[in-house]
A and B are shown apart, each in its own frame.
Chain A
């Protein structure tokens, strides 16, 4: 089945990851000391993806720069991104809750290894951001701050893609940047990283 126009190809591997040895010259085969036992064969697949009801609501919200969580019907915890059910009580989440595009840095590490695909230049801060009003954190990158000033509990603000580049994608939030507000006590973030 040919891919539909709206299918998005998964970003290819970075150059060099699957580098092969130089091809053997046939005339020189007799001189090759080691027999070939293994070859590396890059493989890729194109997926047609159906996100499901709750993630679809969430992704359509992102297209409008809105962060839509969904509420646990029993204890009120707001999940973002929503999966359509609460993993704690096992019931569907039916009520949508719009959250601000601000939050608190719940945990982080400093990444020094190049990951090529969609990753900023190293070193960069891989961040867990607890969006205000949410019960669990989301992954992102934190930029626009010297690394030595990054701390658990600092306030952060989403940086959105330019309007003309907005799609139904998590990538609409390009990264997070510091917000000039007092830090949150780290103890308050326990259980929400």
Chain B
């Protein structure tokens, strides 16, 4: 990675819920921002610039909310920058924030991702009936389910791999106090018997609709060392960042494993000096809104050979006790405030290498991957963070 060194020195999350009726949108952001600043032992005055991201405005029904939220974000009189990359936006936003420091322009940058989905109906925002366009009368799950079916056909995976992913993530969520879904009674059978929505995707293999925000404080080398001295917590040094995109409707696209996804992974691993991600990465926070995307991304990102990703899930390699733990936080399957979801992956990766993940901590995690995707599986953002300075 070129440019100045950057590290995550503060992470703050809200409690995620279907409806956070106890706070306004501004209050929700403030909750995450205060926690991130407190984690970094910093105050609003220490922040040079703010970079924010959320999903398209019609998911929330508040147009260009960053304007009215400037005070809640502590952005009055400071540069405020918004990033738009659909569902991957949380990841892209953190990367843009890091760029503000890599470039030498700023030393401490606050970055915030959020969604208050209870303000609107994202399901309908994705399926509005416009007579002049082709109709997708099936919501987000209906968009992605055909590609999951195609993955199952190509790989010949047993048809319960998705159930195993969902069960793992929902059980992991029980160890994460911020997670939206806490389902202590979840079992293999309860997932299997849950209502089929978009066959092959069941209700319990689908992400929830959540309210929530996450904030990260990023610092340059001096800021990171000062913060570490004050907090006693290791910074999460950024070892590589990458974003890639491709057009939604283009001849030659393969939505089971998009070229942009493969390129993004290859780029970020090259920056971080990773040649064998399965062995070198200690823990992964991957954007899995529908259960089957775990094996699909494992293959696309290079953690498994094409057609073999499901074996990592089946063998338990992706469980917290496995050699490649994926989504110890419970992942998007347990918490999905869309605009925050990517940044939660990035933030959880940072928490792991800082030793801050509490009950879902992987002992000794030194190198972690945060991953996000969005749109029609067309926008990708990834970063690798580590406890060692790059």
Q: How far is the CB of B273 from chain A (nearest CB, A)?
A: 32
Could you tell me if A10 and B129 are in contact, using CB atoms closer than 8 angstroms?
yes
For chain B, residues 122 to 168, give those with C-beta under 8 angstroms from any C-beta of chain A: 124, 127-139, 141-142, 145-150, 153
Q: Is B105 in contact with chain A by the CB < 8 A criterion?
A: no
A87: nearest chain-B partner, CB-CB: B247
Could you tell me if B124 and A88 are in contact, using CB atoms closer than 8 angstroms?
no
Could you tell me if A87 and B137 are in contact, using CB atoms closer than 8 angstroms?
no
For chain A, residues 101 to 155, give those with C-beta under 8 angstroms from any C-beta of chain B: 107-113, 115, 117-119, 123, 126, 128, 135-136, 138-141, 152
Could you tell me if B127 and A115 are in contact, using CB atoms closer than 8 angstroms?
yes
Q: Is A171 in contact with chain B by the CB < 8 A criterion?
A: yes
For chain A, residues 64 to 101, give those with C-beta under 8 angstroms from any C-beta of chain B: 72, 75, 77, 79, 81, 83, 87-88
For chain A, residues 164 to 193, give those with C-beta under 8 angstroms from any C-beta of chain B: 167-171, 186, 190-193
Please measure, in the bound complex, the distance between the C-alpha atom of A107 and the C-alpha atom of B149, giving whole angstroms: 8
Q: Is B121 in contact with chain A by the CB < 8 A criterion?
A: yes
Q: How far is the CB of A142 from chain B (nearest CB, A)?
A: 11
With A17-B121, A37-B21, A113-B198 in contact, is A193–B150 under 8 Å at CB?
Answer: yes
Q: Which of B8-16, B250-258, B280-288, B331-339 contacts A (4 or more CB under 8 A)?
A: B250-258
Hey, what's the 0/1 contact readout for A10-31 against B, CB within 8 Å counting as 1?
Answer: 1101000100000000000000
Could you tell me if B149 and A113 are in contact, using CB atoms closer than 8 angstroms?
no
Could you tell me if A107 and B129 are in contact, using CB atoms closer than 8 angstroms?
no
Q: Is B195 in contact with chain A by the CB < 8 A criterion?
A: yes
Q: How far is the CB of A150 from chain B (nearest CB, A)?
A: 10
Q: How far is the CB of B282 from chain A (nearest CB, A)?
A: 34
Q: Is B193 in contact with chain A by the CB < 8 A criterion?
A: no
Most chain A CB within a 10 A radius of its CB, from B127, B138, B201, B247: B138
Q: How far is the CB of B202 from chain A (nearest CB, A)?
A: 9
Could you tell me if A128 and B146 are in contact, using CB atoms closer than 8 angstroms?
yes
Please measure, in the bound complex, the distance between the C-alpha atom of A118 and the C-alpha atom of B150, giving whole angstroms: 26
With A109-B146, A186-B153 in contact, is A115–B249 under 8 Å at CB?
Answer: no
Q: Which residues of A contact B138 (CB under 8 A)?
A: 109, 111, 113, 115, 119, 126
Q: How far is the CB of A11 from chain B (nearest CB, A)?
A: 5
Q: How far is the CB of B129 from chain A (nearest CB, A)?
A: 4
Q: How far is the CB of A170 from chain B (nearest CB, A)?
A: 5
Query: Among the listed A11, A43, A55, A117, which residue makes an inter-chain contact with B61, where contact means beta carbons less than 8 Å apart?
Result: A43
Query: Among the listed A87, A140, A190, which residue makes an inter-chain contact with B135, where contact means beta carbons less than 8 Å apart?
Result: A140
With A79-B249, A128-B146, A170-B133 in contact, is A110–B153 under 8 Å at CB?
Answer: no
Could you tell me if B134 and A107 are in contact, using CB atoms closer than 8 angstroms?
no
Most chain B CB within a 10 A radius of its CB, from A79, A138, A168, A193: A193
Q: How far is the CB of B136 from chain A (nearest CB, A)?
A: 5
Please measure, in the bound complex, the distance between the C-alpha atom of A111 and the C-alpha atom of B130, giving whole angstroms: 20
Q: Which residues of A contact B21 (CB under 8 A)?
A: 37-38
Query: Among the listed A79, A138, A193, which residue makes an inter-chain contact with B134, where contact means beta carbons less than 8 Å apart?
Result: A138
Please measure, in the bound complex, the distance between the C-alpha atom of A123 and the C-alpha atom of B137, giving whole angstroms: 12
Hey, what's the 0/1 contact readout for A35-52 against B, CB within 8 Å counting as 1?
Answer: 001100001000001010
Query: Among the listed A8, A38, A79, which residue makes an inter-chain contact with B131, where contact means beta carbons less than 8 Å apart?
Result: A8
Q: Is A156 in contact with chain B by the CB < 8 A criterion?
A: no
For chain B, residues 183 to 233, give those with C-beta under 8 angstroms from any C-beta of chain A: 195-201
Most chain A CB within a 10 A radius of its CB, from B22, B132, B147, B253: B132
Most chain B CB within a 10 A radius of its CB, from A13, A109, A123: A109
Q: How far is the CB of A18 from chain B (nearest CB, A)?
A: 8
Please measure, in the bound complex, the distance between the C-alpha atom of A49 and the C-alpha atom of B132, giving whole angstroms: 9
Q: Is A59 in contact with chain B by the CB < 8 A criterion?
A: yes
For chain B, residues 238 to 261, give those with C-beta under 8 angstroms from any C-beta of chain A: 247-255
Could you tell me if A169 and B131 are in contact, using CB atoms closer than 8 angstroms?
yes
Q: Which residues of A contact B201 (CB under 8 A)?
A: 109
Query: Among the listed B118, B132, B153, B251, which residue makes an inter-chain contact with A59, where contact means beta carbons less than 8 Å apart?
Result: B132
A193: nearest chain-B partner, CB-CB: B255
Could you tell me if B136 and A139 are in contact, using CB atoms closer than 8 angstroms?
yes
Q: Which residues of A contact B251 (CB under 8 A)?
A: 72, 75, 77, 79, 88, 135-136, 191-192
Q: Which residues of B contact A191 (CB under 8 A)?
A: 251-254
Q: Which residues of B contact A49 (CB under 8 A)?
A: 130, 132
Could you tell me if B252 and A117 are in contact, using CB atoms closer than 8 angstroms?
no
Could you tell me if B146 and A193 are in contact, using CB atoms closer than 8 angstroms?
yes
Please measure, in the bound complex, the distance between the C-alpha atom of A193 and the C-alpha atom of B133, giving whole angstroms: 17
Please measure, in the bound complex, the distance between the C-alpha atom of A123 and the C-alpha atom of B200, giving whole angstroms: 12
A123: nearest chain-B partner, CB-CB: B199
A14: nearest chain-B partner, CB-CB: B124
B133: nearest chain-A partner, CB-CB: A170
Could you tell me if B249 and A126 are in contact, using CB atoms closer than 8 angstroms?
no
- Besides A126-B138, A141-B137, 11 other CB < 8 A contacts? A10-B129, A38-B21, A55-B132, A77-B251, A107-B149, A107-B150, A113-B197, A136-B251, A169-B131, A193-B150, A193-B255
What are 11 pairs between A and B in contact, CB < 8 Å? A55-B132, A81-B133, A107-B146, A108-B146, A109-B141, A111-B137, A117-B137, A136-B250, A139-B134, A191-B252, A191-B254
Question: Which residues from chain B sit less than 8 Å from chain A, CB to CB?
Answer: 19, 21-22, 61, 118, 121, 124, 127-139, 141-142, 145-150, 153, 195-201, 247-255
The 8 closest A-B pairs by CB, nearest first: A109-B145, A107-B146, A87-B247, A135-B251, A110-B199, A119-B137, A77-B251, A87-B250
